[in-house]
Homo-oligomer: A and B are copies of this chain.
Amino acid sequence: MNHRTAVVLLSGGMDSAVCASIAQNEGFTLYVLHVGYGQRTSKKERECAEELASFYDALDFRVIPLDFLKEIGESGLTDESITLPVEETEGIPPSYVPFRNSIILSLATAWAEVVGAEAIFYGANFIDFSGYPDCRPQYFEAFQKLIEAGTKDDTVIVLRTPLASLSKADIVKKGLELGTPFESTWSCYTENEKACGVCDSCRLRLKGFRENGVTDPISYR
Asked if residues A139 and B133 are in contact (CB atoms below 8 Å), the reply is no
A152 / chain B contacts, CB cutoff of 8 Å: 92, 133
A218 within 8 Å of B (CB atoms): no
Asked if residues B142 and A146 are in contact (CB atoms below 8 Å), the reply is yes
Name the interface residues of A37-76: CB closer than 8 Å to any CB of B: 62, 64-65, 68-69, 71-74
Closest B-chain residue to A144, C-beta based?
Answer: B142
Asked if residues A98 and B110 are in contact (CB atoms below 8 Å), the reply is yes
Alpha-carbon distance between A110 and B106 when the two chains are bound, in angstroms: 13
A111 / chain B contacts, CB cutoff of 8 Å: 72, 98
By secondary structure, the A interface counts as helix
Asked if residues B107 and A72 are in contact (CB atoms below 8 Å), the reply is yes
Instruction: Give, as a whole number of angstroms, the nearest-CB distance from A137 to chain B.
Output: 9
Give a binary string over A103-115; 1 marks a CB under 8 Å from any B CB, 0 the rest.
1001101110110
Closest B-chain residue to A113, C-beta based?
Answer: B98
Given A106-B106, A139-B146, A142-B145: 9 more A-B contacts, CB < 8 Å: A72-B110, A73-B110, A99-B110, A99-B151, A102-B110, A139-B149, A139-B150, A142-B146, A142-B149
